[in-house]
Amino acid sequence: MTDRPKELRLNFANLQKELESVSNLARPFLTQEGSYRLEEAKRQLNVFKSKPGQTVTWEVPKEAPIRTTLSKAQYERRDSGKQKGPHIHGALSFKWEMTTSEKTVKEVMLRGKASTMIRLCEGEGDEAPVLSMWKMEIGVGAAASPGSFFHIQVPGTEKDPPFPESIPVPRIPVFPPTPMACLEFVLGELFQRDWLKHVDRAGTPLNLWRSIQQQHLSSYLKWQLQQIEKTEGSPLMHLKGFPGVDLLMPNC
């Protein structure tokens, strides 16, 4: 093992395309403000194209998150009209600290905070009470946490159980959690049938989205398979390793 900070290289154009396609796909499931804030995130990312060799922060702040429309208990897969449970919406915010490549911005290096926060809130609007919260993170940077490189945490904000703030585990392994992939995850959870139906068809945004996610997931799953096959110890423990700086680069 080395103490060198873990980093993750990302193709800048792919990041733009991933955002563009999810923005088109997710539109019917977002509030007006949510959609607007996703557009703002797109503009913020586009600016980085003109900022070579700089440390930049890409952020949708938690005070102004991307909010989904109301899920009328569509997180259950019961027949329409038979869903029970509170009506909730998702609020996604994220912060990614990265460095842009020199001269021409073709890549960014994720090397600081890389965290996406998801809150599920009861009812609608900014004042809706938070029912649950989790973070989907990438373990990059000098202060990278132990555990799976791509993980979910349920950090408490109080000292009381069940998730007291003093205990940072479990870090549950997850797919490469770009903010865009996290958004799809939330929409898929909140709108079980509707989202699946929405993305189970052809179309340019979906084709673009599919190709990028296929590349990310297949690359990660291949690495996981290699880890399992080559280990002489416990396979599960080796899945916590660092998958490499170029894991999500095209043609890697």
Partner 1 sequence: MSTQKPVILIIDDDPSDGRNLQRGVGKERAEVVIRTPDDFRKGDLQRADLVLVDHELDAWPGVSSGLTSPPNGLALSAVIRERINELTRGNVTAVALWSGKVDRIAASLPSELRSFAFARLNNLEWVFAKDHPDVPTGVVSLAVAIKQLPRSWPQEPAGATRQLHKLLGLNSEFSFFPTAVDDVEACHPPIHELSEATHALTVIRWIAHRILPYPAFLVDRVGLAARLRLDLEELDRILKNSSKLAHCLKEVEYRGVLSDLYGKHWWRSGLDSLVFELTSGTSEIDRLQSELDRLAGANLKFLDHEVVPGIGESYRPTELVPVSNAVRLRLDDWPPFADAAWAEREQVAESDALRGLVLPLDSELLSAA
Interaction site with partner 1 (CB under 8 A)? 27-28, 31-33, 36-37, 43-44, 46-47, 49-51, 54-57, 59, 61, 64, 104-105
- Cβ proximity to partner 1: between 59 and 194 the closer is 59
Neighbouring residues of 179: CB distance < 8 A, sequence distance ≥ 6? 41, 60, 92, 94, 96, 116
- Cβ proximity to partner 1: between 36 and 78 the closer is 36
* Alpha carbon of residue 247 to chain centroid: 16
Give the residue ranges of DSSP H helices in 113-172: none
- Cβ proximity to partner 1: between 105 and 181 the closer is 105
Can you read off the two tokens belonging to residue 169? 């585990």
Strand stretches in 61-215, DSSP E: 66-67, 88-100, 107-122, 130-138, 150-153, 172-173
- Cβ proximity to partner 1: between 8 and 105 the closer is 105
CB of 164 to partner 1, least distance (A): 30
In whole angstroms, give the CA distance from residue 82 to residue 224: 40
CB of 183 to partner 1, least distance (A): 17
- Cβ proximity to partner 1: between 81 and 146 the closer is 81
Rg for the chain, CA atoms, rounded: 18
CB of 107 to partner 1, least distance (A): 14
CB of 52 to partner 1, least distance (A): 8
C-alpha torsion sign, points 147, 148, 149, 154: negative
CB of 36 to partner 1, least distance (A): 5
| Residue with the two structure tokens 């007291």 | 164
